Structure 1
Amino acid sequence: MPTLSVNGTTLAYDDVGPRDATALVFSHSLFFDRTMFRHQVERFSREYRVITYDHRGQGGSAPSAAASLGMETLSEDAAALIEALGAGPCHIVGNSLGGFIALRLAARRPDLVRSAAALGSSAEEEHKVAEFDPLVQELRANGTRNVVDAVMYVMLGDATLADPEKKELREHWRAYIEQLPPSIGDAAHAVVHRESVLDELSRARVPVLAVAGEEDHAYPPPLSERIAETAPDGRCAVVPRAGHSVALEQPDLANGHLAAHFAAVDGASRPA
């Protein structure tokens, strides 16, 4: 597992595909790690350079103090990773927490980002702070062991939770989630207490795709529609039978939207 020291931390990452191709950088959700994008790696790594990484304090990356887990620092980590790997300007794709980062880089770093895709995400401050704060407190005290069912409900849609064919997916991620330590509560606190980037996004100079899961219990489609309405060059797609983890729950449909987005952006950027 390669690691890279950037911005005062050490990030675990994978980097596959042709090095001279346009890069895709994938930024994962809270409670998951970079392997949530394995279907995207399989789909795109023949044509693109594909980079997946774990956020500080999560997955295989270095532990981090609670004070350094805010959206600003995580966004700076992503920018530093892109710079250190010589991957810009890239397409950045994020699910949930990763989407918060993708939108911030779309607004702030057009030198590093040629487009952004935010899946199951939001550009707004958290509207369910009162609902999520007790969960954050429990996570900080005990990790995920007492709230695995609640986390699974947040992260997956009804169809995924009920589909017999997705049993292996559910079992894999349940096992991963239930062993997360109390430090995951610090990352969750940063997610729940993030600030809105709607104003910044309204001035973004790169194309932005928002993809919502039709069954997202945390960030329903209107939040993705707001992203697309706010970004000057924004578009929204809604994926049926998917919840919060769109890229994982309906990978073929998500990949279709991403492929069309990348092709449109790259085609428009080429000289006639």
Structure 2
Amino acid sequence: MAFDLAHETAQVNGTTLAYSMAGPAEGKPVVCSHSLFLDRRMWYPLMELLAARGYLVISYDHRGQGDSAPAERREDLDVEILTADAAAFIEARGWRPCHVIGNSLGGFVWLRLAARRPDLIRTCTVIGSSAEEEYRRADYEPLVAHLTEHGAAQVVDSILEIMFGRWTLMNNNSLISTWRKRISELGPSIGDAAYGVVTRKRVVEELHRCTVPVLAIAGEEDSAYPIPISSDNIADACPRGRTVTIPKAGHSAAIEQTDLIVPRLVEQFAMADGS
């Protein structure tokens, strides 16, 4: 990347998380949590833009994914454990309260913290995410079984169709090429992470306790969690919830249309920062 990134690790909640940081140390912290099949590198373009605006931006890899420590058991990749990891990570680094941003799986984590630990969070933005159980679980279970046995290489095209919208698949060859290669390299352990995603429990009933501003962003072409699942249901459940729809974007709107996402984030942050 053309901007300065620091790469570190943190020992929290019985695991080791790898993370990257950009921006001034005195900036308000923004912690980014990635999607299944992707990793913290998905946030680097967004980090550059937010760091230039004076924020201290952090992206980390979930346990069992990216450069973080592998999980010893499939059960260790349950979304509830990933949520406990995130809370411990924020507390250990002294970033409370911080702005949080999560795409898909990352959003599952932040919605749980927004409801249960609002003391850790300044604002919460979720992109292509859901507060409900996996409504396509039966459809995804054969994919999870294949991933567990073989890894992602043979099913990378199916994964790309889940993770990206039509416009991106047809027009952004560089982005698709980059993530095709990275996803193809995922080994069988990604099946355990996928299992944790598709077997998660719903938390929509908990969101009435959320006291922080919540922005639910939906990609107009998201086939994994279409509107209203990825935005309306979340915003309706949160006392301070609102929604935004991003055109020419699918499930990974954070990287498909970064330039459109960042102004929405800055607006969201200003609601809590008083600027």
Give TM class, smaller chain. over 0.9
1:246 to 250, 253, 270: 253
Q: Which amino acid is the alignment partner of residue 220 of structure 1? A: P
State whether structure 2 residue 39 is matched by structure 1 residue 33: yes
Equivalent AA in structure 1 for residue 153 of structure 2: R
- 2:151 aligns with 143
1:267 equivalenced with 2:267 (yes/no): no
In structure 1, the partner of 2:79 is 71
Superposed CA deviations along residues 31-78 of structure 1, whole A, max 9, x for unmatched, are: 001010112111111311111100000000010021100011000101
Q: Does 1:115 align with 2:137?
A: no
Displacement after TM superposition at 1:239 (Å): 0.2
Equivalent residues of 2:116, 2:209 under 8 A apart: no
Is the CA contact (8 Å cut-off) linking 2:125 and 2:215 kept in structure 1? Answer: yes
- Compute the RMSD of aligned alpha carbons: 0.9
The residue that corresponds to 2:243 in the other structure is 236
> Do residues 205 (structure 1) and 215 (structure 2) align?
no
Q: Is the contact between residue 22 and residue 48 of structure 2 (CA under 8 Å) also seen in structure 1?
A: no
> Which contiguous aligned blocks of 4+ residues in structure 1 show a shift greater than 6 angstroms?
none
CA distance in 1, matches of 2:187, 2:217: 30
- 1:109 maps to a residue whose letter is R
1:107: Cα distance to partner?
0.6
> Where do 1:8-157 residues align within 5 Å?
8-46=14-52, 47-64=54-71, 65-157=73-165
Aligned 1:170-249 pairs, distance under 5 A: 170-223=176-229, 224-249=231-256
Once the two structures are TM-superposed, the CA of residue 133 in structure 1 deviates from its matched residue by 0.5
Paired with 1:91 and 1:190, the residues of 2 have a C-alpha distance of: 25
Q: TM-score normalised to the size of structure 1? A: 0.96
Q: Secondary structure at the match of 1:98?
A: helix
Aligned residues with identical type, % of pairs: 53
Q: Deviations over 1:205-237 (max 9, x none)?
A: 111000000000100121111100110000000
Gaps of 5+ in 2: 1-6
| Structure 1 Cα separation of the partners of residues 104 and 217 of structure 2 | 10
The residue type paired with residue 120 of structure 2 is: L
Gaps of 5+ in 1: none
Correspondence for 1:257 among 247, 251, 264: 264
Aligned-residue offset at 1:15: 2.1
Q: Per-residue deviation at 1:21?
A: 2.0
Asked if 1 retains the 8 angstrom alpha-carbon contact of 2:213 and 2:271, the reply is no
How far does residue 28 in structure 1 lie from its aligned partner after superposition?
Answer: 0.3
Helix, strand or coil at the partner of 1:188: helix
How much does 1:260 deviate?
Answer: 0.9
Could you list the per-position Cα deviations for residues 77-113 of structure 1 after superposition, in whole angstroms to 9, with x for gaps in the alignment?
Answer: 0111111111110011000000001101111111111
